Amino acid sequence: MGKIACITGATSGIGYYSAIEFAKLGYNLIITGRRKERLENIEKELKENYNIKVLSLNFDVRERTSVEDSLNSLPSEWKEIDILLNNAGLAAGKEPIFDGDYKDWDQMIDTNVKGLLYVSRVIIPWMKERKQGHIINICSIAGKEVYKDGAVYCASKAAVNSISQGMRIDCNPFNIKVTNICPGAVETEFSMVRFKGDKTKSDATYQGYTPLTGEDIAQTIIYCATLPSHVCINDLVITPTAQANATTFHRE
């Protein structure tokens, strides 16, 4: 049935734009997210605009049983997944560790780390069986460097960084590529989620410079996904030109 990409967190931002870029290349898509109506609208949009098949799976990556039941219920032809884009994730809150909210910590660790593992645990054996596949994990520059008031988000992404390395080693005998992508500032719903709807704080994140867009990261993902079969980008850090590292921005 042609190539298949499975994208977690396709209801907005990087995941949404990646779905569009993969659709342009003719990939059939499995798209996931918690917001059911959005997911269904995106499924409709993709089917109308591109000549591809789309399946939407509405689950929370933190709920292991839902992840397993949902993915395992896929028809067998849909299990032949070529690309797994582990993108679903978030930051919740930004404060010193001693003021941190337990619920935010749980949400970040459960989503960014455990959710990514739950999805991968189901899909990797299918890739292993077919001796082909490409896992693209959306990490962050926060997985490479720690910044003030971001200890737990940074730790969750440092875990993704390590998991990507471990996956690459374990999947190495099975012709499975693993790419870890670490973006700096990308203007999506990310900051509105992090600051819990505080638009002033969210807007301030992107003030005085041109941030990356979801499309920029989607195109980078496509670059990694379309290289010859013997070439694998292992690790890629991408920032706006105005961002030198996790904390240094040139703002006008």
Site for ligand 8X3 in 42-101 (CB under 6 A): none
Of residues 4, 30, 31, 61, which one binds ligand NDP by CB under 6 A? 61
State yes or no: residue 199 binds ligand NDP (CB under 6 A).
no
In whole angstroms, how close is the CB of 86 to ligand NDP at the nearest point?
8
The answer to whether residue 153 is catalytic is yes
Burial code (b: 16+ CB inside 10 Å, e: under 16) for 115-132 equals bbbbbbebbbebbbeeee
The b-or-e profile of 39-58 (16+ CB within 10 A means b, else e) is beebbeebeeebebbbebbb
Based on the shown chain and the rule CB under 6 A, indicate whether residue 45 belongs to the binding site for ligand NDP.
no
What is the distance between the alpha carbons of residues 152 and 140, in angstroms, rounded to a whole number?
13
Q: Does 189 bind ligand NDP (CB under 6 A)?
A: yes
Give pairs for 242-247: CB < 8 Å, separation 24+.
242/209, 242/210, 243/184, 243/185, 243/209, 245/141, 245/145, 246/141, 246/142, 246/144, 246/145, 246/146, 246/147, 246/184, 247/145, 247/147, 247/148
Out of 151, 193, 237, 242, name the contact with ligand NDP by CB under 6 A.
193
Question: From CA 91, how far away is CA 93, in angstroms rounded?
Answer: 6
The two three-digit tokens of residue 122, written as one number: 């189901």
Query: Is 141 among the residues that bind ligand 8X3 (CB under 6 A)?
Result: yes
Residue of 27, 153, 206, 209 marked catalytic: 153
For the window 141-180, what string marks contact with ligand NDP as x by the rule CB under 6 A? ----------------------------------------
Window of 56-64, 77-85, 161-169, 228-236 that interacts with ligand NDP by CB under 6 A: 56-64
Residue 171 near ligand 8X3 by CB under 6 A = no
Q: How far is the CB of 33 from ligand NDP (least distance, A)?
A: 3
Instruction: Return the percent helix, strand and coil in the chain, to nearest 5.
Output: 50, 15, 35
Report if residue 188 touches ligand NDP, rule: CB under 6 A: yes
Choices 85-93, 124-132, 225-233, 242-250 (CB under 6 A): range interacting with ligand NDP: 85-93
3-class secondary structure, 157: helix
Nearer to ligand 8X3, 184 or 214 (CB): 184
Given the complex with ligand NDP, which of 140 and 220 has the nearer CB atom? 140
Rounded Cα gap, residues 102 and 154, in angstroms:
16
246 binds, among ligand NDP, ligand 8X3, none (CB under 5 to 8 A by kind): ligand 8X3
What is the rounded CA–CA span in Å between residue 237 and residue 183?
6
Kindly list the catalytic residues.
Answer: 153
- What is the contact surface with ligand 8X3 in residues (CB under 6 A)? 140-142, 184-185, 246
